[in-house]
Structure 1
Amino acid sequence: MQDMLVRLLDLPDCSQDERHLLESENIIIKRPIAPEKSIITNWVASNFSANWGDEVDVAFASLPVNCFVAQREQSILGFACFESTSKNFFGPTGVLASERGKKIGKILLIKSLNALKELGYAYAIIGGVGPVAYYEKVIKAKVIEESEKSIYQHLLKHPK
């Protein structure tokens, strides 16, 4: 998997999509707070991977937290982190399969990238990308050539 680069100065506006999500699905996108750390970390580890759960744990070391979550009432539907693996990196991110197609991931992505922009970055890195075409379409990200050997290349995996 390769890394991608995204220009933060040209991000699309997601406010209308976010408003529609709230009105039609009762889904809010927010930055979690410290008392939610174990709930979100455990949810990510259970629904995606223990490694991603570890990255969420690191996101909670910053205030405000370097993470956004999508929730409907007391249910978590998706998450997105930034600056949890490396400075100026977006990810990990994930949305429950049952909730995909509602633009939850797009909103989480854009809000996270805007947070990186607010930190002073003009560009950001999306590390170890799976859905290259999605990022190209939604935020005009570009593959970084020869980035197959990234910070993830020697990543230890949790035993099953």
Structure 2
Amino acid sequence: MALILLFGCWSPGPALGNSLAADPDPVKAEATALYNLGAVQGARGNWQGARCSYGAAARIQPDLILARSSRALAAMELGELAVAEETLRRLIRRHPLFADARAALTALLWRRGLQGEAESHWAASAGLDDRYADARWLLATRQWPPGPVQDLQQFLASRTS
């Protein structure tokens, strides 16, 4: 497997496609492998590596919107709120029914103190997929970073007080 360093992140080089030749769609296989690598890196607390892997997956397969959302979540965990917000807003503009991006933006807006706008994104997100209210699901299944999960849980707790 050939890897090149691009903007401080490892990216697959041209030879990686050859190693996936048995897959009917090597581009999707490559993107999936990078997405899964990001999940492993995040599970180990390496959010910088996860952000890079998710970003590489999204560059290889632009329609893999979960990779873009995961990259934004990793950026949130790293304190890169402006980058995360721009990515999430762009995702929501292009995919208004994408609950993950709306829930993530809810957490980010709550962190920034923008309760009203957070409420509106949460209403859309909860109407699309109510699992986002479950912190255990976010951490274990969806594999969100702990910071955004905590922000979303604080937002939800503020709504009941």
Q: Same fold (TM over 0.5)?
A: no
Q: Name the TM-score, length of structure 1 as normaliser.
A: 0.36
Between Structure 1 and Structure 2, the one with more helix by share is: 2
Structure with the bigger RCO (C-alpha within 8 Å, sep 6+) is 1
Normalized against structure 2, the TM-score is what? 0.36
The structure whose Rg is larger is 2
Higher relative strand content = 1
